[in-house]
Amino acid sequence: MLIVLPKGRLLKEIKNLLELIGIYFEDSSRKLVMDTSIKNIKVAILRSWDIPKFVNKGIADMGFVGKDVLNEIEDEENFYESLDMGLGKCRLSLASYKKVTNSNKPIVATKYPVTAKAFFASKMQNVEIIKLKGAIEIAPILGLSDYIVDLVQTGNTLKENGLSELEVIQDISTRLIINKSSFKTNNQMIETLIISMKNALNENLKD
């Protein structure tokens, strides 16, 4: 079984969680796929945006990924969104640098075009969406966009750059996803892992 984990700030939290349920591994900057203390379980560390692709294709059996990334999937999902881990909590929000006067077709910069499009469609508002991969906050400051749709944790970055958070689109957290075929073929092991994770998360909440 292969479990894929996200690079970045969440890796330590997820690694700690896995250790609580008896899965240990040595994090290596060179090794791409790592053995764990459980004979039949290996882990790999990937970019968050790639994790659903590996699980969807059945290359990985399960993975941890933010709901913000899952929202952007347009292909048919060949995985179950099994568990809200409650880790990496933040929010996906609409923000602007100044009051928007171009009400006919405002421009929105975002890493999340699918979510942004659905959000504005629900408001029956026609917008132009520009997909960016870098620092989204700079787009309205330099005049590229009227709005941004981006992840917000504390809101300090927005405030420091003169942006205002206008509306929370969705609360975001890390989810456990499981390949549908893997869930059938390794059902007992996967169910045991899910229950163990739930118990570990509940114990952490008590602490």
Q: How many CB atoms neighbour CB 171 within 10 A?
A: 10
* Structure confidence at residue 207 as a pLDDT band (50, 70, 90): low
64 SS3 class: strand
**Closest to 87 in 3D by CA, of 36, 16, 178, 165:** 16
Phi, psi of 177 (to 5 degrees): -115, 145
Asked if residue 82 lies in contact with residue 194, where contact means CB atoms within 8 angstroms, the answer is yes
Sign, Cα dihedral of 170, 171, 173, 177: negative
Residue 138 predicted with pLDDT over 90: yes
pLDDT for 103: 67
Eight-class DSSP state of 79:
E
pTM: 0.89
For residue 205, pLDDT over 70 is answered with: no
Q: Which domains does the chain have, with CATH numbers?
A: 2-88+173-206 (3.40.190.10), 90-172 (3.40.190.10)
pLDDT digits (tens, 9 = 90+) for 85-102: 999 999 999 999 987 766
Mean pLDDT of the chain: 92
Q: What is the pLDDT of residue 146?
A: 94
* CA gap 128, 185 in Å, rounded: 44
Tokens of 14: 């997820």
Whether pLDDT at 180 is above 90: yes
User: Biggest alpha carbon distance in the chain?
Assistant: 61
Q: What is the predicted pLDDT for the residue at 102?
A: 61
pLDDT in tens, 31-86: 889 999 999 999 999 999 999 999 999 999 999 999 999 999 988 889 999 999 99
The band of 13, judged by pLDDT with boundaries at 50, 70 and 90, is: very high
Residue 58 has what pLDDT? Answer: 95
Q: What is the CA radius of gyration of the chain?
A: 19
DSSP 37: S
- Per-residue confidence (pLDDT) for residue 8, from 0 to 100: 87
